[in-house]
Structures are given as structure tokens and as C-alpha cells.
Structure 1
Amino acid sequence: MSKEERHLQTKIRMFEDILLRTKNPSQVDNIQMELTRMRAKLQKLYFKRMES
């Protein structure tokens, strides 16, 4: 696992924790969109590593 993959996984966990604690609906939407982007990026990294 690359350094970038570990960093993204850690960041995703932090954002999920923030998401569970937040009460503001607009902030929830923003966090969910950012989580979706980070998960897609992480998945691309996994697939790129599998191809190599």
C-alpha cells in the first residue's frame, strides 16, 4: 500500500468521524461529497496498483 493510499484512508476515517458528529445539514452535504471524491480517488489508486 502506497503512502498516498494510507493518507487517503486516514483522511476518509477522519471525515466519517466528523460526519457522524456534525449537526449542520449543509455541512453534512459538503462532507458527503468530499467523502465520495476521496473514495473514488482511493479506488482509482487501488485499480492502478492492481494493473501494474
Structure 2
Amino acid sequence: MSVEERHLLNKIRFFEDMLLRSKDYRQQENIGKELTVMRIRLQKLRFNKMRTGA
């Protein structure tokens, strides 16, 4: 697992924790959007890693 991949996974876990603890609807919505973007980036990283065989 690359350093960037690990960093992204940790960031996703942190944001998921924030989402569960948040009581503000707008903040939950923003965190959810950020999580979606980060998960897409993680999928792209993993796909490129598989494609290049690294």
C-alpha cells in the first residue's frame, strides 16, 4: 500500500468519525461530499495501481 493510499484511508476514517459525531445537518452534508470525493480518489489510485501492476 502506497503512502498516498494510506494517508487517504486515514483521512477517510477521520471524516467518517466526524460524520458520525456531527449533529449539524449542513456539516454532515459537506462531510459526506468530501468523503465521496476522497473515496473516488482512493478507487482511482487503486485502479491505476492494478493497471500498472505496481
TM-score normalized by the length of structure 2: 0.95
RMSD: 0.3
* Alignment gaps of 5+ in structure 2: none
Distance 1:12 1:24 in 2: 19
Moved over 4 A (4+): none
Tell me the number of residue pairs that the alignment of Structure 1 and Structure 2 aligns: 52
| Identity across the alignment (%) | 60
- In the other structure, the counterpart of 1:28 is 28
TM-score normalized by the length of structure 1: 0.99
